[in-house]
Amino acid sequence: MFELPERYNVTTLIDANLTAGRAAKTALLCDDEAVSYGELLSRVCRMGRALRRLGVRQGDRVVLILGDTPVFPVAFFGALRIGAVPCPINPLFREEDYAFFVRDAGAFVVVSDATYAAKAGRSLTGYPGNVSLIAPAGSADDALSLEDLMSAEQDFLAPADTHRDDMAFWLYSGGSTGLPKAVLHAHQDIPFTCESYARHVLGIRESDVCFARVLFHAYGLGGGLTFPIWAGATSILFPERPTPAGIITVIERFRPSLLFLVPALYNAILNEPTSACGDLSSLRLCISAAEPLAPEIWRRWHDHFGLEILDGLGSTEMLHIFCSPVPGTVRPGSSGKPVPGYELRLVDDAGAVITKGDVGTLQVRGASAFSGYWRQRAKTLKTLIGEWVTTGDRYRVDRDGFYWYEGRTDDMIKIGGEWVSPIEIENVLHEHSAVREAAVVGVAVGGIMRIRAAVVLASGRTGSAVLTRELQEWCKNHLQRYQYPHLIDFVLELPKTITGKVQRFRLRERELAAA
C-alpha cells in the first residue's frame, strides 16, 4: 500500500526529477517558452525565498490570481516550499470578488500575472489590511515587481520540514448558490492521486505530454501540473480562452499524448467543422471530467477521431478522479469503476447502505480526501461522515460493478410520484439530430412540478412548435412515457462555469423570473 514518510513536503516531487537526471528535460511549455525541470526548481526556490522575505511564514495563506502560465506552478510550489498555503482562485471572478478571497484566506500576499494584475490591484484599494500584490513589472500600480523579487534571491531553498498531514493548499469550490468555500488539502493528497488515478488508470509515463486547462481547478491541477511533474513528463500551458480552434492549434503544435478537457469542449470541437478536421494523431488517451459526458458525444468522438474518452468522476473534496473506466473498458454513459485506492458506496436518505441496482447518494473514501471546509464546520460535518465523503451525486451500480450517474441529489425531479433523472433525458435529447446541447431542470409551474429543457440546436435547425413536439415524442419513445420535457426553450447557449459545468440554477432562476 502507498505510504509517504511522516515528514513530507510535496514540492520534493520536483526535486525527484533532478535526482532522476531530468534537470534539462522540459517540464513546461507555454507559447514560445520552455521551462526545464532544473529551471522550474530554481524559480520555485527563488519564489519561496521572496515570499519568506516578505514575511510569509509556515501556515500563512497566499492568494493566487493566475491563469495557465508558468507563473502558476512557480507561485503554487514556491509557497508550498516554505510551508505556506497557496490559495488559487478563478481569475475570471469579478473585481469586487477578489477582496472576498483575500479576506476569507486571511492572506497578506497576493500573486497575480500580468493579465489580471490591474484588476487585482483595484480590488485591494481600500481593503482594510496590509496586503502586498506581486505581479510582473509594470502590470499594476503599487505592485511589487515579480522579476525584481525573484532576481534578488538565490536559486536553492530546502523544503520546509512539513508533516504529510499539514495543511498544504486550498481549492475553492463553488456551489449552485452562495459564496465559494475553501476546501483544505494536505501535502500527502497530491501524491496519492498520482499513485492511484495517474498510475493505475492513465499509466502516465515520462514520455507523455499532458494538455489540461484551468490549473486553479482540481481537475486541471492534476492533469496539467501534478501528474506530469510526478511522472517526469511535460505539461502544456495554454492561457488563452479555450476555443475549439485554439485547442486544436495547441494539439497540432505541441503534440500532447494525454488530453484533459470537459464535455463542453469535446462537443464544441465536434461541432466546429474546421476543428473536427484537426490532427489528433499524437493523442493516446482523452480524459473528461467536471460534468457527465453524454454517450452520444462519446460515440461521435470515437467514430470521428478513433479515440475513446475516459469519462471519470472526481471532486474538489477528493482532489481528483476516484471513479473511472480504464482504457478498453469504456461503457458510454458510465463513470466506470472505483479507481484503485478508493472505495465507493451508495446510501439512502437515512444513510443506510443500499444494494446494487437501486439509486442512492454516492459516498467515497480514500487518502486524498479533504480535511474540511475553512470556517464552515456545519458543511464539513454534513459532507464528512467518518472516513466517507458524501458527494451529493445520485448513482446506481449495475451487475458488473459499473457506476451510472443519475444526477445531483438536488437536481432530481419528482413527477407524478416518480423520480426522474435529468441526465437520462439530456442523454436522449443529445441523440436527436437537431440537438447540439441540452440541459434539463425541474421547475414549478402553477404549483405543479414540470420538466424543462433548454436546447441549443444544431447548425441549420430552427426552433418551432413542431420540433418541440418531435423532441417530446423522441423522449417518450426512448424513455418512460413520463420522462419527457413538458417545456422546451430553444437557446443560443447554455450558462456554464469556466470549467464547463452547466449552471442549472441559472436555468431555474430564469424560469422563476419569467413566471
pLDDT value of residue 42: 98
List the CATH number of the domain containing 457. 3.30.300.30
- Residue closest to 151 by CA, chosen among 72, 46, 74: 46
C-alpha cell at 146: 515579480
404 with 417, same domain? no
Q: How far apart are CA 218 and CA 231, in angstroms?
A: 18
Do the Cβ atoms of 325 and 336 come closer than 8 Å? Answer: yes
* Residue 354, number of CB atoms within 10 A of its CB: 15
DSSP state of 276: G
Residues 6 or more apart whose CB falls under 8 angstroms from that of 312 comprise 197, 201, 287, 288, 289, 321, 323, 324, 325, 335, 336, 339
Q: What is the pLDDT of residues 435-460, one digit of tens each?
A: 999 999 988 776 677 899 999 999 89
357 with 485, same domain? no
CA atoms lying within 13 Å on the CB side of residue 196: 29
154 with 171, same domain? yes
DSSP state of 194: I
Q: How far apart are CA 13 and CA 233, in angstroms?
A: 12
273 with 362, same domain? yes
Total number of domains constituting the chain: 3
Residue finishing a domain among 408, 440, 470: 408
Q: What is the pLDDT of residues 269-325, one digit of tens each?
A: 999 999 989 999 999 999 999 888 889 999 999 999 999 999 999 999 999 999 999
221 with 337, same domain? yes
pLDDT value of residue 513: 41
Residue 465 covered by a domain? yes
Ranking 17-21, 174-178, 339-343 by mean pLDDT, the lowest is: 174-178
The per-residue DSSP string of 479-514 comes to S-TT-S-SEEEE-S---B-TTS-B-HHHHHHHHHHH
Q: What is the pLDDT of residues 246-262, one digit of tens each?
A: 999 999 999 999 999 98
Q: What is the pLDDT of residues 186-245, one digit of tens each?
A: 999 999 999 999 999 999 999 999 999 999 999 999 999 999 999 999 999 999 988 999
Q: Which residue has the cell 512539513?
A: 162
For the cut 70, the answer to whether the pLDDT of residue 356 exceeds it is no
Give how far Cα 87 sits from Cα of 60, 79, 103, Å: 10, 10, 12
Q: What is the end-to-end Cα distance of the chain in Å, rounded?
A: 56
* Residue 34, number of CB atoms within 10 A of its CB: 13
Burial class of residue 489 (count of CB atoms within 10 Å of its CB; 0-12, 13-18, 19+): middle
List the CATH number of the domain containing 348. 3.40.50.12780
Looking at 258-400, list the stretches that DSSP marks H as alpha helix, in order from N- to C-terminal side: 263-271, 295-305, 377-383
Residue finishing a domain among 375, 408, 441: 408
159 with 281, same domain? no
| 178 confidence band (pLDDT: 50, 70, 90) | low
Q: Determine phi and psi for 513, rounding to 5 degrees.
A: -65, -30
Q: What angle do CA 191, 172, 289 make, to 5 degrees?
A: 65
Do the Cβ atoms of 224 and 215 come closer than 8 Å? Answer: yes
Ranking 30-39, 47-56, 197-206, 486-495 by mean pLDDT, the lowest is: 486-495
239 with 253, same domain? yes
C-alpha cell at 388: 466517507
Q: What is the pLDDT of residues 395-434, one digit of tens each?
A: 999 999 999 988 877 777 877 666 788 888 999 999 999 9
In terms of pTM, does the model score above 0.75?
yes
506 with 371, same domain? no
Residues 6 or more apart whose CB falls under 8 angstroms from that of 319 comprise 171, 185, 189, 190, 192, 193, 218, 222, 368, 370
- CA torsion sign for 230, 232, 237, 243 is negative
Do the Cβ atoms of 330 and 354 come closer than 8 Å? Answer: no
| 365 confidence band (pLDDT: 50, 70, 90) | very high
Q: Which residue has the cell 473534496?
A: 317
Residue 298 covered by a domain? yes
171 with 193, same domain? no
DSSP state of 159: P
Residue 15 covered by a domain? no
Do the Cβ atoms of 105 and 128 come closer than 8 Å? Answer: no
Give how far Cα 243 sits from Cα of 225, 274, 304, 306, 482, Å: 21, 12, 19, 22, 37
Range(s) of the domain holding residue 134: 33-181
142 with 173, same domain? yes
For the segment 92-110, the average pLDDT, to the nearest whole number, is: 92
For the segment 327-340, the average pLDDT, to the nearest whole number, is: 97
Ranking 46-50, 114-118, 265-269, 497-501 by mean pLDDT, the lowest is: 497-501
324 with 398, same domain? yes
Residue finishing a domain among 408, 430, 448: 408
